[in-house]
């Protein structure tokens, strides 16, 4: 029975290591913790844009990957672009903001 225990321990250790490596992040794919953090950042940026009276939140898309927020969509003025970028930069956890918004 003793050799069987060694094999089961080795199998369990192997499965644990494979699972841990599978959940790690890469340069193009987020780990589970980063995905949750980015979802929170996205929600906070959307809320900040929604609460601002001059911005139409339905026209601004927000995506976050590893703390980098990407804003896209169409707005009425350069002032709206500057406001949205400023609001996004003010959210805790935002590393940088990529502005892909366009004027109507």
pLDDT tens-digit series, residues 27-57: 556 565 556 689 999 999 999 999 999 888 7
**Distance (Å, rounded) from C-alpha 42 to C-alpha 87?**
12
Q: What is the pLDDT of residue 57?
A: 76
Residue with tokens 């790690």: 24
Q: How many CA atoms lie within 13 A of 71 on its CB side?
A: 32
The encoded tokens of residue 21 equal 């490596």
């Amino acid at each position: 029975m003793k050799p069987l225990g060694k094999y089961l321990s080795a199998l369990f250790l192997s499965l644990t290591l494979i699972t841990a490596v599978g959940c790690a992040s890469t340069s193009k794919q987020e780990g589970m913790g980063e995905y949750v953090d980015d979802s929170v950042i996205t929600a906070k940026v959307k809320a900040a844009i929604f609460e601002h009276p001059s911005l139409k939140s339905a026209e601004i898309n927000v995506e976050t990957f590893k703390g980098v927020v990407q804003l896209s969509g169409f707005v009425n003025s350069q002032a709206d672009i500057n406001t949205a970028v400023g609001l996004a930069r003010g959210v805790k956890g935002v590393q940088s903001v990529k502005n892909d918004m366009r004027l109507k």
